[in-house]
């Protein structure tokens, strides 16, 4: 029968694999590579990244055997250097990929980039429910990538059309829209 791995062996495996996940995440972020990977794809690419980080790490620390690896990888300065190498490789390769292949791609989503650049600017918001049009200045926008995105406009007005005449009617101090409410956002020039 096979033997259950010791705590040291399990710890060593975790220490050897963790920097690959860090490297892959930093690369994806720095290269502006926003593709959504499945859990399996993320795991496979992270394992490949672990090997890429481990090869120079093993060469620098001159590991000659598995026993040597198990004893030295428990030392704090060895762990710190391994994670530092993972950060350097992840950011370095990501920066190279960004400058070479993805130089016209901005970090983050269109929503968050719009939010960071235009808070305080005036916008028109066309809604999905009935096609209403609102006008106001962007008071705040949520930029979270997972939860609902929201935009709050200050001094909101709704466009009303009566007898083929357009007029803006004030509808309070502010209105909060979720991403499901919005059909289009148009930035108004000052």
For residue 130, give the 3-state DSSP assignment: coil
pLDDT at 137: 86
Residues 125 and 58 in one domain: no
- Using the 3D structure, point to which of 100, 123, 155 is the last residue of a domain: 100
The answer as to whether 119 is a domain residue is yes
User: What are 46-102's pLDDT values in tens digits?
Assistant: 999 999 998 898 888 888 777 777 788 778 888 899 899 999 999 999 888 888 877
pLDDT at 180: 81
Nearest one of 81, 85, 87, 79 to 26, comparing CA atoms: 87
pLDDT at 2: 66
Count of the separate structural domains present in the chain: 2
What is the Cβ-side half-sphere exposure of residue 178, based on CA atoms within 13 angstroms?
A: 4
Token pair 């926008």 is at which residue?
A: 141
The answer as to whether 2 is a domain residue is no
**pLDDT at 35 exceeding the cut of 80:** no
Q: Residue 145 sits in which domain range?
A: 110-187
**pLDDT at 147 exceeding the cut of 80:** no
For residue 160, give the 3-state DSSP assignment: strand
CATH number at residue 167: 2.30.30.100
pTM: predicted TM-score of the whole model, two decimal places = 0.58
Nearest one of 36, 105, 14 to 22, comparing CA atoms: 14
Token pair 């979720």 is at which residue?
A: 178
Listed in sequence order, the residues at least 6 apart from 169 whose beta carbon sits closer than 8 Å to its beta carbon are 157, 158, 160
Residues 28 and 96 in one domain: yes
Residues 127 and 94 in one domain: no
pLDDT at 107: 60
Residues 181 and 137 in one domain: yes
**pLDDT at 113 exceeding the cut of 80:** no
Task: Measure Cα distances from 170 to 60, 122, 155, 158, 160 in Å.
Answer: 68, 15, 7, 7, 10
């Amino acid at each position: 029968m096979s033997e259950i791995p010791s705590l040291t062996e399990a710890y060593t495996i975790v220490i050897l694999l963790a920097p690959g996940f860090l490297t892959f995440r930093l690369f994806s972020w720095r290269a502006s590579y926003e593709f959504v990977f499945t859990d399996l794809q993320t795991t496979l690419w992270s394992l490949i990244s672990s090997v890429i980080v481990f090869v120079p790490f093993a060469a620098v620390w001159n590991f000659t055997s598995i026993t040597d690896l198990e004893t030295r990888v428990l030392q704090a300065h060895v762990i710190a250097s391994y994670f530092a190498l993972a950060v350097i490789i992840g950011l370095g390769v990501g920066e190279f990929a960004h400058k070479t292949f993805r130089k016209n791609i901005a970090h983050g989503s269109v929503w968050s980039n719009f939010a960071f650049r235009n808070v305080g600017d005036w916008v028109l918001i066309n809604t999905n429910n009935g096609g209403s049009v609102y006008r106001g200045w962007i008071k705040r926008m949520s930029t979270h990538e997972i939860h609902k995105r929201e935009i709050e406009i200050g001094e909101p007005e709704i466009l009303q059309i009566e007898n083929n005449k357009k007029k803006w009617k004030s509808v309070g101090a502010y209105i909060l829209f979720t991403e499901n409410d919005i059909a289009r956002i148009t930035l108004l020039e000052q």
